[in-house]
Amino acid sequence: MSKPTLLLIDDEERILRSLRMLFFVGYNVRMTIDPYEAIRILREERVHVIVSDQRMPVMQGSELLRIARETSPATMRILLTGYSDLDASIASVNEGEVFRYLMKPWNGDEVKKVVAEAASIAEASFAVRTHSDMAVELTGAKPRVLIMDHDESTAITVHETLGDRCDIIWASDAQHAMEELAKQDISVVVSDLMLGATNVGYILKTIKQLNPQTQCIVVTSFSDTSRLIELINQAQITRFLPKPVSKGILARNLESMLERFHIVRAQPVLQKRQAVAPISDPQEQVQAGNFLGMLGRLRARINA
């Protein structure tokens, strides 16, 4: 099999020269400081993984990745940036739908590992039809939508938008959410980051481990860039909508996430594209461990 192609974009050439050294063996490395050149390469060649800087003179990285998503959907998208600003990270989720958000200065081994994982996922994705030309099958069990948000307006919008097609559960606390997760898989989660006084980050991170098909929308007024980056990498949230969010926007995103769920359910190979990184926060690791343990026991009891 031929080597996977890796495309590197950064406005600082020294970054490119340096990064390339990590991929000397095993990759066909293409690099450029010009995002338009990158788009041309994406169009003309089969690129497995694209790694882009965020802040560039002519185009933001998240914008380039959005274009990459349209031009070459199978390509895995990674952002490598030294600038953690909230807008950039929100754009990288919502528009770039990045696989990983990595920071400069980077850890060589980690970057190599992430790129290798991305390359093998891309390899598999290229082998199946891409989602754009695939008819979505609406068969299978009725999708279940879990709301973890005390905000009534969120619940109302979810009901109005998806009420006719989905079972909708409005969880009042972490315990309730867990009971619902124990009963049956969840298709779409709409969650704030805080449920009352509980930080539900660990639940979001666990849900994806439980069922990789689940699509996760975060709706919150809470904005902390480093936490958002964690959620991108470790929960693969697919949308991040800052509150207050308009009904129209939430509705539109709900629709597209439900559709995404159907696509992913029909094409299991695509699930891998949303594979999560391990939880990094030690406290959350413990919380997630307990959560999974309790969930296991609950499931056993329900199935008994």
Partner 1 sequence: MNAMNEANPVGSEIFSLINAIDAVSPDSPLEELAELFASPEYANLLSLPVVENGRPVGVISRYRFMDIYLKRYARELYGKRPIRNFINDKPLLVELDQPLSEAAQHVAANMKFPLTEDFIVTRRGRYLGVGFVMDLLKVMEQKMRANTDELEKAYTQLKSSQMALVQSEKMASLGQMVAGVAHEINTPLGYVQNNVAIGQELFLQIQSMMAEYEALVDKLLNDQASEEQVAVQMQLVAEMRNDVNTQEMLGEMHGLMSDSLYGIDQISELVLNLKNFSRMDAAANDSMNVNDCIESALNIGRNVLKNKVEVVKELGVLPKISCAPSQLNQVFLNLFTNAAQAMEAQGMLTIRSWYAEGSVYISVEDNGKGIPQENLTRIFDPFFTTKPVGEGTGLGLAITHQIIHQHGGEIRVESQVGEGTRFSIKLPATSSETVQPILKAVAA
Interface with partner 1 (CB under 8 A)? 12, 14-15, 17-19, 21-22, 24-25, 55-58, 81-85, 103-106, 108
Say if CB 237 and CB 99 are below 8 A apart.
Answer: no
**Which residue has tokens 């695939």?**
134
- Give the residue with the Cβ less far from partner 1, 106 or 261: 106
Nearest to 4 by CA among 30, 22, 37: 30
- Give the residue with the Cβ less far from partner 1, 10 or 192: 10
Q: Shortest Cβ distance from residue 154 to partner 1 (Å)?
A: 21
- Distances in Å between the alpha carbon of 223 and those of 85, 90, 233, 290? 10, 10, 16, 26
Q: Shortest Cβ distance from residue 83 to partner 1 (Å)?
A: 4
Strand partners, 102: 80
- Give the residue with the Cβ less far from partner 1, 111 or 182: 111
- Give the residue with the Cβ less far from partner 1, 5 or 287: 5
- Distances in Å between the alpha carbon of 250 and those of 19, 185, 205, 290? 39, 22, 21, 32
Q: Shortest Cβ distance from residue 53 to partner 1 (Å)?
A: 8
Q: Shortest Cβ distance from residue 51 to partner 1 (Å)?
A: 12
Say if CB 155 and CB 170 are below 8 A apart.
Answer: yes
Q: Shortest Cβ distance from residue 199 to partner 1 (Å)?
A: 23
- Give the residue with the Cβ less far from partner 1, 83 or 130: 83
Q: Shortest Cβ distance from residue 20 to partner 1 (Å)?
A: 8
- Give the residue with the Cβ less far from partner 1, 54 or 187: 54
Spatial CB neighbours of 51, under 8 Å, sequence gap ≥ 6: 6, 7, 8, 9, 19, 78, 79, 80, 115
Residue ranges in 31-107 assigned as alpha helix (H): 35-44, 61-71, 86-94
- Give the residue with the Cβ less far from partner 1, 182 or 228: 228
Spatial CB neighbours of 210, under 8 Å, sequence gap ≥ 6: 181, 185, 292, 295
- Give the residue with the Cβ less far from partner 1, 57 or 282: 57
Burial class (CB in 10 A: 0-12, 13-18, 19+), 115: buried
Nearest to 229 by CA among 46, 63, 83, 44: 83
One-character DSSP codes across 89-102: HHHHHHTT--SEEE
- Give the residue with the Cβ less far from partner 1, 55 or 299: 55
Nearest to 120 by CA among 18, 8, 232, 1: 1
Q: Shortest Cβ distance from residue 121 to partner 1 (Å)?
A: 24
Q: Shortest Cβ distance from residue 85 to partner 1 (Å)?
A: 7
Nearest to 60 by CA among 89, 27, 24: 89
Q: Shortest Cβ distance from residue 123 to partner 1 (Å)?
A: 22
